[in-house]
Structure 1
Amino acid sequence: MSQEDMRFETLMKEQMVQGEDGHFVAPLPLKDPDSQFPNNRIMAEQRLASLRRRLLSQPRLKEEYQAYMQDMLDKGYAEAVPDDERCRDDGKVWYVTHHGVYSQTKQKLRVVFDCSGEFQGCSLNNQLMQGPDVSNNLCGILTRFRKERIGITCDVKGMFNQVRVAPEDRDLIRFLWWENGDMRREPSEYRMTTHLFGASSSPACAMSALNKTADQYEEVFGSDAADFIRRDFYVDDGLTSTTEEKSSVQLVKDTISMCSSGGFELHKFTSNCPEVVASVPESRRAKSLEHVDISERTVIEHALGMKWNLQEDSFHINTDISVKPTTRRGILSMVSSLYDPLGWVAPFTLLGKNIVKQLCCDGRDWDEPVPDHVEPPWEEWKTDLKQIADISIPRSLSADH
């Protein structure tokens, strides 16, 4: 690790504590604790005015944005700045702007806080230590997920928001919004109480808290649950495989309890084993499994981006790729969008990459139409892409599967 990463680790070790509600509290890991921030409220006001115009022109976005912000306040992820603290001017106040984006797959709104926004050459992310990359290896997790006959996946609900920010640092993550979402009023000042999606330090802070949960409660809930958390979580997604039903049910129970002790809630559980699914409360299952018997109906879920057919217990390559213009940029975009972390269709992907390479060697501009001799192999690649969806790869490598 770099010197900065070691400083981050020391800071988390010394100052991360567990609150009375079970959630861990961690400071914002500033590169220089004595750094001064310029007053960027005017930038926040301008961005909010632009957001207001956008919300007024898009009724659906407005309704969902207001609901999202109110839900965040109701859950305590953010709080109003007290009147006697609003005029604080000691270089320790920073306003984070925000905007809404929809995920391409679920069309669900997420409000993103722009911690990279600059004012007078300063931004919050520039002042934060990113922390070491403590994520587990993606291929390692997927390979272990294939080891045994019973597969289990889950997800940490709102992972970043489950780790609190130390009270003395919360004025560095202020934001402007309207009380009760009423845009006819003057904007009010709020501040986050949790680590937020958009801050460069949030992933490392959240992983530190999750790993600390495993270390702290291993003796209470067992080493199997602790090892699952430490080795087989890729940020907020957990995947593991087990040998038999009884131990699987116990593992799920212990892992839920262990995470709950650290302020984390596990949900969206899936499994190819009906006994495991039945042992999980419906509120903690993936939506597709809330009222479904997987032995009678085909259910497709996702495991770290891979399509997982629970009934057949098989993987399928996701080929839902948007068609792009036949240009160097469009071809590169489509080839790069084919997600195949274990390299099952690498020979096919290589054909697409070879077309991109040829266009690069020819000196073609990014948005220039491709020459005539490139179109036939590219059209053939797109046609074959549809057939890739029919490939089925057994998930389990167990001999007794």
Structure 2
Amino acid sequence: MEVVPFTKLLSPEEHACETHFTTHTQRNSEGRYVVRLPFIEKKGSLGDSRPIALRRFNTLENRFDKNPKLKENYCTFLNEYNDLNYMSLIKNQNLAMPGFYLPHHAVIKEDSTTTKIRVVFDGSVKTSLGVLFNDSLMVGPTIQADIFILLTRFRYHAYALTADIEKMYRQVLVHPDDAVCQKILFREDPNDILKECSLDTVTKGTSCAPFLAIRALSQLSEDKGVKHPIAANVLKKDFYVDDLLTGAKTHAEAKFLRDDITAFLQKGGFPLRKWASNDPSLVPENSDNFTSTHMSLDPNANIKTLEIHWNSFRD
């Protein structure tokens, strides 16, 4: 009676979501994962979502009129989305085509070390049938370690390493048949024709996004872990969403771990960035955060991970 079970029991929906992932997930020629959205009901029963998406975009354009700088940054963000193939223009726009339109808006993050503006896509809106897009999707089980366990284990390492996966959600592709359920309305000028685009990667703001991205990361350890056993083990136990907190007993072990996990994640299209360590020699020279800490104990500092401040230079 005092033994804690090692196997987590899944609810029927969580089990169905896991089965859906293993059945429908593929890898493309680049090694990146291509997933299907885990719908509870048929996509055709969602109803019409375009009118509310259009109203929300008109409100956004009014905001642009008052803030040209916001408009410039917003357009830059979405143009980058397009250039990196995270979204694509729907050339033959057919309003009768089944799908879902995601309203979107801007969030300003002054403390971000990378992108100051984020475009947020909203899956929590009702369609003409009163259906929420997010309610039509299975959420999926939690498959990563508890954050308290991860942080406690992180403090045991003599040589500590932190990093995060660059744009983790966007590294996981969505099958074209499901990408039509992630459509947005956009144009750079009110005089232009309104464009319809599909978001072709896992998208924050949809209820299944965390599971799909994290599960794809976990699948990499199953698919390619034989040749990278150490990195595969770290991937399973030392990640919290896209944040890596790991380390080793010796400098040589930490250096090997850094190189091994970097090469391993590249096989799934998951590049690591913003490296930091309590030993500066372990930070890659080409790191985009080479001269600064990834976290800081200084309460006034802007750089942190998992909402925890850590000064890697003084630790």
Compute the TM-score of the two structures, normalised by the length of structure 1.
Answer: 0.71
Cα deviation for residue 271 of structure 1 reads 0.3
- Aligned Cα RMSD in Å? 1.9
d(CA) in 1 for partners of 2:201 and 2:52? 23
1:33 Cα deviation after fit: 3.4
Counterpart residue number, 1:94: 100
The answer to whether structure 1 residue 282 and structure 2 residue 286 are counterparts is yes
Deviation of the 1:173 alpha carbon = 0.7
* SS of residue paired to 1:208: helix
Change (3 A) 1:95 1:275: same
Give the drift of 1:154: 0.6
Q: Quote the Cα distance in structure 2 between the aligned partners of 1:300 and 1:282.
A: 22
- Look up the match of 1:183: 190
Provide the secondary structure at the position in 2 that maps to 1:32. coil
| Equivalent position SS for 2:207 | coil
Q: Deviations over 1:61-96 (max 9, x none)?
A: 11110100100000000000121xx21525x21111
Q: How far apart in 2 are the matches of 1:284 and 1:248?
A: 19
Identity within the alignment, %: 29
Instruction: Give the Cα–Cα distance (whole angstroms) in 2 for the partners of residues 14 and 209 of structure 1.
Output: 13
AA partner of residue 201 (structure 1)? C
| Residue matched to 1:4 | 13
Whichever structure has more helix as a proportion of its residues is 1
Higher relative contact order (CA 8 A, sep 6+): 2
Contact 1:249 1:275 survives alignment (8 Å): no
Matches within 5 A, 1:124-143: 124-143=133-152
Per-residue displacement from partner, 1:162-189 (whole Å, max 9, x unpaired)? Answer: 11001111111111011xx233212111
Q: Distance in 1 between the 2:305 and 2:160 partners?
A: 10
How far apart are 1:131 and its partner, in Å?
A: 0.6
SS in 1 for 2:185: strand
CA distance in 2, matches of 1:271, 1:200: 33
Residues 263-302 of structure 1 aligned to structure 2 (within 5 Å):
263-277=269-283, 280-285=284-289, 288=292, 301-302=303-304
Q: How far did 1:40 drift?
A: 2.1
**1:214 CA displacement:** 1.4
Distance between the aligned counterparts of 1:287 and 1:13, measured in 2? 41
Whole-angstrom CA distance in 2 between matches of 1:301 and 1:286: 13
Query: In the alignment, which of 197, 208, 213 is matched to residue 204 of structure 2?
Result: 197
Structure 1 residue 198 displacement after superposition = 0.4
Give the CA deviation at 1:309. 1.4
73, 82, 88: which one aligns with 1:73: 82
Are positions 1:164 and 2:166 aligned together?
no
The equivalent residue for 2:70 is 61
TM-score (norm 2): 0.89
**What is the identity, as a one-letter code, of the residue corresponding to 1:13?**
T
Match of 2:117 among 104, 109, 114: 109
What letter is aligned with 2:174? V
Give distance in 1, aligned partners of 2:94 and 2:305: 48
Distance in 1 (CA, whole Å) between partners of 2:100 and 2:64 is 24
Q: List aligned pairs for 1:2-401, cutoff 5 A.
A: 2-33=11-42, 35-83=44-92, 86-87=93-94, 89=96, 92-103=98-109, 105-106=111-112, 108-120=116-128, 121-178=130-187, 181-220=188-227, 222-277=228-283, 280-285=284-289, 288=292, 301-313=303-315
* C-alpha distance after superposition, 1:298-326 (max 9, x if no partner): x995242221112221xxxxxxxxxxxxx
Q: Shift of residue 263 of structure 1?
A: 1.1
Question: Which amino acid in 1 is paired with 2:122?
Answer: D
The CA distance in 2 between the partners of 1:217 and 1:238, in whole Å, is 19
Give the gaps of 5 or more residues in structure 1: 291-298, 314-401
Kept after mapping to 1: 8 A contact 2:293/2:303: no
* Distance in 2, Cα, partners of 1:177 & 1:96: 11
Cα distance in 2 for residues equivalent to 1:247 and 1:283: 19
Structure 2 gap ranges (5+): 1-9, 295-300
Paired residues, what number?
A: 297
